[in-house]
Amino acid sequence: MPAAKTNSKFMAPITPNAILGEVVGVKPIPRTEIVKKMWAYIKKNNLQDKKNKRMINADEKLAKLFAGKKQVSMFDLAKIISKNAK
């Protein structure tokens, strides 16, 4: 059985901007690690909506990332990360 191929583009380090950097740090890291750190922050600060677990409530830091919205869907995270990292 051949070894699983990793998607090098997907695993390539990207640099978070200052707003995203407040949550995940400013060092270049792979997109997968940014997602992990975002979820760790969300869970640590109890920001997942109690009734609808798919929704993420914004605190002061996340409100900046969410363009002022008080709540976003977990499916919007990828879009938000793309806008805030290069």
CA atoms within 13 Å, Cβ hemisphere of 7: 5
* 15-83: CATH superfamily: SWIB/MDM2 domain (1.10.245.10)
pLDDT digits (tens, 9 = 90+) for 28-80: 999 999 999 999 999 999 999 999 999 999 999 999 999 999 999 999 999 99
pLDDT score of 4: 54
Torsion of CA 41, 10, 20, 22, to 10 degrees: 60
pLDDT score of 7: 63
pLDDT score of 1: 55
Residue 2 has pLDDT above 80, yes or no: no
